Amino acid sequence: AHPDPSLSSLFAKENLGHMSEEQLNRYDRLINEPSNDWDIYYWATEAKPPPAEFDTDVMAMLREFAKNRNREQRLRQPDLEYLFEPPR
């Protein structure tokens, strides 16, 4: 299970278009090589340091993105519509 499936997909949506071929290759390795999605999440949110081979410019971009994303999530109020939906 992805801890935050939106983190890497939103990062990709915002960043892949202006990344160099080398950066795209590093991003591809990052999302495909570690065996555990939680590792990427921990590295991106700085809960754990990444291993040297993944501590790249792309990881720095992902960390920055995660910080901004967390700020957005804190600023945004949760949706309350579901409280008012009739039971199915």
pLDDT tens digits, residue range 40-87? 999 999 999 999 999 999 999 999 999 988 777 666 655 555 556 555
pLDDT at 7: 82
- Confidence band, pLDDT 50/70/90 cuts, at residue 9: confident
Q: d(Cα 65, Cα 14) in Å, to the nearest integer?
A: 9
Provide the whole-model pTM.
0.72
The C-alpha angle with vertex 41 and arms to 39 and 43, in degrees rounded to 5, equals 70
